[in-house]
């Protein structure tokens, strides 16, 4: 059987069956493996050059949300990066569903999951003549403790000196594994406020995106969000826009400046992990008068109806120190060092 072409329902050994009850299961280049056994070669271009793409979904009650939309975006990233999969995207989706099925016995322990498909270009000096790509599907427990406090106090957004630009660098619509620019921005922000989140500007000093998330503001009762020129077009962003339109809320994709956020009646950010999260401060200044704001609350309720789960309550349940999810998460983080 060719590299990467193994069907999702590969045979499971007794060791695998034992380990899946205590440890997360990954899929790596055609094999289902306990997380502790998953490795990649150090000469891989993804490891050495950040030469690869990825996409990440989350589950609600153990069910993957909008997998097709995420895989469609992954396929666009693959086309732009000129990486050819040895399997179809449909097969990758089947593998992803099987990975989730094998980890579902750990659902109550962890709450819900991230699930990520990563494709690294194979090793070789010439990207046009590299070996077959290295493919993995990895599951991680959601970081409830990281996000839960912000539903009450709101996120603090800070603008670091780095810029998000499709004109002077890699197009942000490409979901590439290289995230060093965002890491550097986050380092700068957290040296100012360890609890803050980075909100990047583009080369014209327009608001762009939050590190790993999209921004929305409310002004004059209308919902506004940066246009797609200098952002990753988030699946959660698109879902939020659709929900707002269903609620009769005017939505405008446009250039926004820092002034607009300072003057906003309310603001929130969206991403796969936490769906929608209110913003409390911008560069130290209070945003709006209420947390969450009225439109943020309406959209949070719309998200809850859509996914069939009170994800805010779930964050609070699993994000407390006594939560059953915390011990496994801490172990997973320690093992990743």
Tell me the pLDDT tens digit for each residue of 70-129: 999 999 999 999 999 999 999 999 999 999 999 999 999 999 999 999 999 988 777 887
Q: What is the CA radius of gyration of the chain?
A: 20
Residue 11 has pLDDT above 70, yes or no: no
Whether 221 maps to a domain, the answer reads: yes
Tell me the pLDDT tens digit for each residue of 249-271: 999 999 999 999 999 999 999 99
Whether 44 maps to a domain, the answer reads: yes
DSSP H or E run through 200: strand 197-201
Same-domain check for residues 106 and 158: no
Same-domain check for residues 220 and 305: yes
The Cα angle at residue 64 between residues 323 and 120, in degrees rounded to 5: 100
pLDDT of residue 321: 64
pLDDT of residue 259: 97
List the domain range (segments joined by +) for residue 107. Answer: 14-142
Q: What is the pLDDT of the chain when averaged over all its residues? A: 88
For residue 53, give both structure tokens.
């793409």
Whether 323 maps to a domain, the answer reads: no
Which single residue is written with the structure tokens 């094998």? 102
The Cα angle at residue 238 between residues 180 and 256, in degrees rounded to 5: 70
Whether 3 maps to a domain, the answer reads: no
Cα separation, 76 vs 301, in Å, equals 31
CATH number for the domain harbouring residue 227 = 3.20.10.10
Cα separation, 180 vs 85, in Å, equals 25
Strands 275-282 and 155-158: parallel
Same-domain check for residues 186 and 231: yes
Alpha carbons within 13 angstroms on the beta-carbon side of residue 22 total 5
Q: Which of 87, 119, 142 is the last residue of a domain?
A: 142
Cα separation, 261 vs 266, in Å, equals 8
Which single residue is written with the structure tokens 């762009």? 208
Same-domain check for residues 187 and 226: yes
Cβ atoms < 10 Å from Cβ of 149 = 14
By the 8 A CB rule, do 238 and 274 touch? Answer: no
Span 16-41, average pLDDT = 83
Residue 282 has pLDDT above 70, yes or no: yes
């Amino acid at each position: 059987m060719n590299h990467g072409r193994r069907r999702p329902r590969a045979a499971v050994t007794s060791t695998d069956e034992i380990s899946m009850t205590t440890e997360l299961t990954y899929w790596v280049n055609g094999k289902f493996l306990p997380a502790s056994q998953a490795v990649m070669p150090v000469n891989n271009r993804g490891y050495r050059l950040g030469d690869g793409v990825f996409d990440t979904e989350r589950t609600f009650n153990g069910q993957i949300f909008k997998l097709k939309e995420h895989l469609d975006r992954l396929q666009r990233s693959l086309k732009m990066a000129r990486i050819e999969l040895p399997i179809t995207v449909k097969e990758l989706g089947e593998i992803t569903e099987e990975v989730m099925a094998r980890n579902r016995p750990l659902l109550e322990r962890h709450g819900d999951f991230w699930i990520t498909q990563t494709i690294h270009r194979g090793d070789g000096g010439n990207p046009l003549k590299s070996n077959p790509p290295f493919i993995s599907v990895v599951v991680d427990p959601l970081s409830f403790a990281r996000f839960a406090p912000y539903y009450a106090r709101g996120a603090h957004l800070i603008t670091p000196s780095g810029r998000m630009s499709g004109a002077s660098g890699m197009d942000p619509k490409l979901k590439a594994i290289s995230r060093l620019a965002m890491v550097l921005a986050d380092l700068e922000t957290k040296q100012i406020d360890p609890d803050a989140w980075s909100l990047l500007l583009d080369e014209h000093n327009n608001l762009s995106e939050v590190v790993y998330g999209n921004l929305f503001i409310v002004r004059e009762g209308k919902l506004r969000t940066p246009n797609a020129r200098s952002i990753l077009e988030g699946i959660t962003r698109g879902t939020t826009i659709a929900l707002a339109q269903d609620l009769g809320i005017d939505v405008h994709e446009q250039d926004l400046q820092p002034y607009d956020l300072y003057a906003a009646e309310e603001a929130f950010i969206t991403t796969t992990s936490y769906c929608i999260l209110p913003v409390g401060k911008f560069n130290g200044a209070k945003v709006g008068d209420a947390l969450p704001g009225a439109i943020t609350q309406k959209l949070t309720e719309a998200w809850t109806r859509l996914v069939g789960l009170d994800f805010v309550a779930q964050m609070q349940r699993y994000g407390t120190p006594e939560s059953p999810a915390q011990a496994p998460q801490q172990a997973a983080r320690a093992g990743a060092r």
